[in-house]
Structure 1
């Protein structure tokens, strides 16, 4: 970010340039975070249901889903918007303290890794698994065992990618929580809720990696959704209620 010269920095027009730019970045970040999370939650309600760890039953549900591709594209869009908002938060916080600055940098890097992993996840789940379960359902009896084994192998690959995505997202949220906690104008509950959300994603990553899509993982998902909606709404309210005279200034 450019700096004004000492001669210009005393003028009223340039005095608030940086704070106003930071407020604009904050509003953009907060809006992306909330809209991305709400889009993801909304689209996920249309995902084919069933006991996700009962593969013979749930694969049939997946094969019969006519909205599978649209739902997974929508999930990817929601996650991309959310992570773009998280990445933009690094600029909005304008961190100067060394600890907060490095936490923000590593948090931004982890958010990029989470997005890349989620793209792989949706390629595995949204494309490969769907084709595999379709082939299993339509296969002749002699081929069904082999087709089911192929679909199940793809499912286990999905577990692995989902696990590491959750780890990357959880780490990103924890690091941004540390950075936000050291920013004076951020209300204290926001980084606390963000950190709890990060922990919920870490739990998801462990549970999926060790046991698949169990009831414990579902509880962790719902908890993360609630926490994410809470802190992103709080951040949106903070950003849009902030008048020009109280725009965050560099620390």
Structure 2
């Protein structure tokens, strides 16, 4: 499946093409890491609690004064991360048939992930907030109906989050397939990327079947650890690449 001639090392590609690919790899690595770190940092300000205890957590959501800002920040982090992933597919530029098609389908999956995440933040960051606010301030006789509306939006959030996780997991797995033939990308980076993709697939399944459970929280933390690990490693690899002139004899 992954047989074929590996892509030549960046340093052996002459002229502007080598410089462009090196710059693209560095840019993608930085975007990925910055986006992931921003997402993690902003998420620390998200209102906590048992997310599947809807009465308790909806009250906490209604009291949150930074809800909109946090969700805008999360969207910005995810958008930067996915821009980096799209740039990485371009930088890999697979030569073998498998790597080339993995790159194309992976880029499409990354674009779908961004679209789904936009829908997710519209449901969670906007619709759910209005619904829980309406429930919290409603007269006693209206509260059951308002709560039912908020809970329905919560279940819609589960569904969108599930498929967004599936799309992101698929994009990362396809990126790992495309990267496995790329020279100068250490194999452990590829393995960590693939494991990260699998962790998102697990998240997608758990959210779709059990909501925001403890198992899903563990999978989120695992994905964060794996993501930061391979992204930091990729940044180091990208910035340690030498220019062709620097590696040429007599210079």
Q: Is the TM-score greater than 0.5?
A: yes
* Residue 183 (1) aligns with residue 182 (2): yes
Equivalenced residue count is 234
Q: Determine the C-alpha separation between the residues in 1 that align with 2:55 and 2:18.
A: 57
Q: Determine the C-alpha separation between the residues in 2 that align with 1:88 and 1:202.
A: 22
Q: Determine the C-alpha separation between the residues in 2 that align with 1:19 and 1:245.
A: 8
CA deviations 1:68-105 (Å, max 9, x no partner) are: 00000000000000000001111111211110000011
- Corresponding residue number in structure 2 for 1:213: 212
Q: Determine the C-alpha separation between the residues in 2 that align with 1:133 and 1:208.
A: 20
- Corresponding residue number in structure 2 for 1:69: 68
> How many Å apart are 1:16 and its aligned residue?
2.1
* Residue 244 (1) aligns with residue 243 (2): yes
| Change in CA separation of 1:207 and 1:246 when aligned onto 2, cut-off 3 Å | farther
SS for the counterpart of 1:116 is helix
Q: Determine the C-alpha separation between the residues in 2 that align with 1:246 and 1:224.
A: 38
> How many Å apart are 1:243 and its aligned residue?
1.2
- Corresponding residue number in structure 2 for 1:44: 43
SS for the counterpart of 1:232 is helix
Q: Do the aligned partners of 2:184 and 2:237 also contact (CA within 8 Å) in 1?
A: no
Q: Determine the C-alpha separation between the residues in 2 that align with 1:26 and 1:93.
A: 8
- Corresponding residue number in structure 2 for 1:141: 140
* Residue 31 (1) aligns with residue 30 (2): yes
* Residue 202 (1) aligns with residue 201 (2): yes
> How many Å apart are 1:241 and its aligned residue?
1.1
Q: 4+ residue stretches of structure 1 with deviation over 4 A?
A: none
- Corresponding residue number in structure 1 for 2:158: 159
CA deviations 1:111-167 (Å, max 9, x no partner) are: 000000000000000000000000000000010000000000000000000000000
Q: Determine the C-alpha separation between the residues in 1 that align with 2:245 and 2:106.
A: 26
Q: Determine the C-alpha separation between the residues in 1 that align with 2:110 and 2:25.
A: 17
- Corresponding residue number in structure 2 for 1:127: 126
Q: Which runs of 5+ in 1 are unaligned?
A: 1-13
Q: Do the aligned partners of 2:164 and 2:204 also contact (CA within 8 Å) in 1?
A: yes
SS for the counterpart of 1:33 is helix
> How many Å apart are 1:66 and its aligned residue?
0.2
